[in-house]
Amino acid sequence: MPKAYSIDLRERIVNAYDEDALIEDIVTQYDVCRETVYAILKQRREHNTIQPKQYQTGPTLKLAPYEQEIRRLVDEHPDATLVELHALLQN
């Protein structure tokens, strides 16, 4: 996952825009893409903040309830294939 731009850079971009700098000049000066500038300005307009967004965690793992049992089976049968482990889980 790409790292978010620093608050310092975001503030400089917003300040330059507020001082009537052209988007192309901001892009060149701070070496960011045009979409980044637009995204930061949109975030400020819609959410009144330029803090990086917090990423949400992924979906719930489907095998999470069976993790301990799967780990135990793998420890007991380290050479087992997935098909063999599946058969062991069915018992």
Alpha carbons 27 and 39: distance in angstroms, whole number: 13
Tokens representing residue 36 in the block: 């980044």
pLDDT tens string 14-31 = 999 999 999 999 999 999
pLDDT confidence of residue 6: 94
Q: What's phi and psi for 21, nearest 5 deg?
A: -70, 145
* Together in a domain, 42 and 11: yes
pLDDT confidence of residue 1: 58
- The range of the structural domain enclosing residue 35 comes to 7-47
| pTM > 0.75 | no
* Together in a domain, 43 and 68: no
In a domain, 52, yes or no: no
pLDDT tens string 52-85 = 988 777 888 888 888 999 999 999 999 999 999 9
Q: How many domains would you assign to the chain?
A: 2
